[in-house]
Structure 1
Amino acid sequence: MKQQLLFVLPSLEAGGGEKSLVTLLNCIDYEQYDVDLVLFVPKGIFLKQLPKNVRLLYLNDGYKTFTSGLSCAIVSFLKQGKLGFAFSRLLYTFKSNVIKNKGKAEQYSWKHLKKSITSLPKEYDAAIGFLEKSSIYFVVDCVKAKKKIGFIHNDYVKLDLDASFDLPYFEKLNTIATVSEQCVTVLKEVFPTQKDKVQLLYNIVSAKLIHQMAEEPVTLATTKPSLLSIGRLHPQKGFDLAIEAAALLKLQGLNFVWYIIGEGAERTALEQAITKNDLEKHIVLLGIKENPYPYIKQTTIFVQPSRYEGKSIALDEAKLLHKPIVVTNFTTAKDQINHLKNGIICEMEVNSLADALTSLLVNESLQNELSLHLSKESLGSEDEIDKFYNIVNG
């Protein structure tokens, strides 16, 4: 009999965790496993990449009403005589809007949101909350499963969450999976009573698939040396640092265009910074690209200016395509980059980033040396699926 698995995620919008899940789902042996997927919001650029074997589940009407516009939800609940739901919706909105830390807002508003969610009727062999916060809370509170697993895709401390809120949920998990050695260390330090549950499972990156998709024809708008970064337009990704570094490169008279693939709430602020520094000809915000690999393949240098990462999937993908790489020294950078061997690690500071980029832009032999080293590395992590099976079945 097939094992019954459930995965839970907010959506399949662009993001490292979302991409990691889609890759994992494309590696699963569907002769051994039946897979259901709950998305709080069933949309995103990765939806069309889901295997046909995955059954997408939709949440109940009460949840849909709850997450509609505030006035619409309140009126609907009042008409149904559900005063408690209406009050919970008000508290949910209040906490979501008043608490400035969005991660903690999601934590503290969960108890109101979950009142609108009907527990799933099916019992699973394993239920996997594939992202921190609500995905895990849903698995613990709303799912019957023999084994419950939660994934943390970032350095937990950098997420600035309330650990005392998460601890009772982590206590009800069988496994807490995370994506890098540093993330394992941090989780064990923050949750010492749960340290035996913490397991390392690298993001699955398919070398074969990436090389195949990289052949799709795209044309960059310029023949200048090009830089490329990928990520949500969010302070975590350090694109404000990138713009300041680009201004320094321009002052040096360097010829370059810096492309950024991604979308997010910081777009307007970044656009304003680009205009302020007269960088319209040097920085191009490309938005979301369903297939970023041709852009990586054609670019001169891949840049990851993040303030923190769990384990960057985009960085692994750039390595697979043998791109010279510059990264800031976030806590997990050394898990992926060996300085001056397969990339350059600079300090998380504008001048250091600009200096690292300058040294690489003007030194084609160093670019070739880094690319050659990457071409000799054993990259790709398809075998991580066996570790996943062990976690599910162990």
Structure 2
Amino acid sequence: MKKNIVFVIPSLTAGGAEKSLVNLLNTINYSNYNVDLVLLHKKGIFLSMLPKEVTVLDLNSNYKTFCKELIISCFHFLIQGKLSLIYHRILFFAKNKFQKNKAVAEQNSWQNIQKSLNKLPNKYDAAIGFLEKSSIYFTVDKIDAKVKIGWIHTTYSSSGMNYKFDMLYFEKCNAIIAVSPDCEADLKNNFPTLKNKFKTIYNIVSSTTIHNLSDKNNDDLLFLNSENSIVTVARLSPEKGIDLAVEASKILLEKNLNFKWFVIGDGQERENLEIKIKSYNLQNHFYLIGLKQNPYPYLKSCTLYVQPSQYEGKSMAIEEAKILCKPIIVTNFTTAKDQINNSVNGIIAQMNQESLANEILEVLQNKKLQEKLSLNLSKERLGTEDEINKLYEIINE
């Protein structure tokens, strides 16, 4: 008899966790499982990549109204006589407006937004909150399931989250999944009384899928005609270090390096980054090219992949670049050594613009080093499709 499971995630916009979930959903054995999906916001470039077996659930009308702009939302609730929801909508706005720590704001405002959400009508064998914060809180508060699983895609200590708030929810989960051993160890350090709940499941990455998608035509003439092409795949948000990449590019330009750096992704820092790019006269060298549903032709054709992040859990983008055997440079964020063996299958730079620029210059000017890094990657076993079996074990315990 098939088991019924449900996944929860805010949306399927571009991001490592979102891509990881889509990969996982395309790996599940649907002869054994019925799968529902809750999207708190039904949007994202990965929507079209969901397998046909997955049922995306609609959330209730009060929640949809709650998500509208403040004035519109309160007006509709007023007409309906739902004064309590007006109160919670105003508090939700205030907490997110005035709390500078966005992670804590999302935690604190959950108690308000959840007032607009109904419990799911179905009962499940397993419910999985596939991203930290709201996805886990929804799983605990709004789903009736025999097994409840949370998923943390980052290094908890670097996330800015309030561990006391999460403790209340983690206690109610049967398991909390980390995406690397270092992330698991960090969770155990923050929640020592819950250490038996933490397990590692690597992000699912399909080598076959990535190679097939990388063979698609790339019609970006600017990219194809560039010498020393650098690619980064990341949200334009502070933790991804794109500002550091711009600073390093300024140094590379001063050293008269001919290069073009393409950043695939979008986010809240775009305007600030564009201002900095213009102020450094990098318009012909540093390009924010937005979201790409298929970034792999860029990765396959680039000279060098760079991940300048301040922190990561386990970067999907780095794993994908490894599968395509690209020379890789990363900054020395906490979990960098979990993915890169320095000077063997990639380079780990210090987290400053001088070090990053110097390492980029070294790799781009050293063809033998490029060949060495690519050759070593070609010898590694990099696909992680078998990780799905670890999830099956937790669901079936």
TM bin (shorter chain): over 0.9
* Residue number in structure 1 paired with 2:151: 151
- Structure 2: stretches of 5+ with no match in the other structure: none
Aligned twin of 1:21 = 21
User: Which residue does the alignment assign to 1:102?
Assistant: 102
Distance 1:291 1:391 in 2: 32
Equivalent of residue 372 in structure 1, options 365, 375, 391? 375
Partner residue in 2 for 1:239: 242
Deviations 1:267-307 (A, max 9, x none): 00000010010000100111000000000000000000000
Counterpart in the other structure of 2:306: 303
Give the counterpart of 2:233 among 230, 233, 245.
230
Per the TM alignment, residue 219 of structure 1 is displaced from its structure 2 partner at its CA by 3.8
Aligned equivalents of 2:315, 2:37: Cα separation in 1: 24
SS in structure 1 at match of 2:22: helix
Structure 2 length-normalised TM: 0.99
Q: Which runs of structure 2 are paired with 1:343-362 in the superposition (5 Å)?
A: 343-362=346-365
- Counterpart pick for 1:322 among 318, 325, 335: 325
Partner of 2:339: 336
Q: Pairwise CA RMSD of aligned residues? A: 0.6
Quote the sequence identity (%): 53
Q: Note the C-alpha offset of 1:393.
A: 1.1
**What is the correspondence of 1:167-182 to structure 2 with a 5 Å cutoff?**
167-182=167-182
Residue pairs, 1:20-59, within 5 angstroms: 20-59=20-59
Q: 4+ residue runs of structure 1 moved beyond 2 angstroms?
A: none
Task: Give per-residue Cα distances to partners, 1:63-103, cap 9 Å, x unaligned.
Answer: 00111111111111111111111101000000010101111
Look up the match of 1:120. Answer: 120
CA distance in 1, matches of 2:300, 2:54: 30
The 5 A counterparts of 1:243-322 are: 243-322=246-325
Name the count of aligned residue pairs: 394
* Cα drift, residue 386 of structure 1: 0.8
Q: Secondary structure of the residue that 2:257 maps to in structure 1?
A: coil
CA distance in 2, matches of 1:294, 1:65: 40
Q: Quick one: which of 382, 386, 391 aligns to 1:388?
A: 391
Structure 2: distance between partners of 1:365 and 1:82: 68
Which residue of structure 1 aligns with residue 92 of structure 2? 92
In 1, Cα distance between the equivalents of 2:277 and 2:38? 39
1-structure distance, mates of 2:116, 2:272 = 35
The alignment's TM-score, normalised by the length of structure 1, stands at 0.99
Which amino acid is the alignment partner of residue 250 of structure 2? A
Please give the alpha-carbon distance, in whole angstroms, between the structure 1 residues aligned to 2:170 and 2:375. Answer: 43
Shift in Å, 1:223: 2.8
Distance in 1 between the 2:283 and 2:219 partners?
19
Structure 1 distance, partners of 2:394, 2:333, is 28
What's the CA shift string for 1:188-226, capped at 9, x where partnerless?
A: 000111110000000000000000000001044123110
Q: Counterpart of 2:344 in structure 1: which amino acid?
A: K
Question: Using the alignment, how far apart are the partners of 1:385 and 1:138 within structure 2?
Answer: 23
Counterpart amino acid of 2:298?
Y
2:204 counterpart residue number? 204
CA contact (8 A) 2:226 2:260 kept: no
Once residues 375 and 391 of structure 2 are traced to their aligned partners in structure 1, the CA distance between those partners, rounded to angstroms, is 32
* Aligned-partner Cα distance in 1 for 2:326–2:219: 17
Which amino acid in the other structure matches residue 356 of structure 2? L
Q: Distance in 2 between matches of 1:170 and 1:179?
A: 16
Q: Is 1:72 aligned with 2:51?
A: no
3-state SS in 1 of match to 2:385: coil
